[in-house]
Amino acid sequence: MCVTNFNSNLMLYPLKFTPILKSKIWGGERIQKYHCHGNSAESQIGESWDVSAIPGDESVVCNGFLSENTLEEVLEVYMGDLVGEEVYKKYGNDFPLLVKLIDARDNLSIQVHPNDELAIIRHGCNGKNEMWYVMDADPGAFIIAGFKEKMSRESYLEHVKNNTLESALHKYEVKPGDVFYVPAGCVHSIGGGCLILEIQQTSDITYRIYDYNRLQDNGEPRELHTELALDAINFENNNKQNVEPVIVDSVMSHVIDSDFFTVNIMTVNRNLNYDLSVRNSFVILTCVEGEVKCED
Q: Please give the positions annotated as active site.
A: 208
Contact in structure between 38 and 110 (CB atoms under 8 Å): no
Instruction: Please say whether the beta carbons of 110 and 166 come within 8 A.
Output: yes
Q: In what order do the strands lie in the sheet with 246-247?
A: 246-247, 252-257, 262-266
Closest CA to 201 of 127, 132, 133, 134: 127
Helices (H), the chain: 30-34, 71-78, 80-83, 85-91, 116-123, 153-161, 226-232
Question: CA 86, 296, 248: angle at the middle one, nearest 5?
Answer: 65
Residues 6+ apart with CB under 8 A from 167: 159
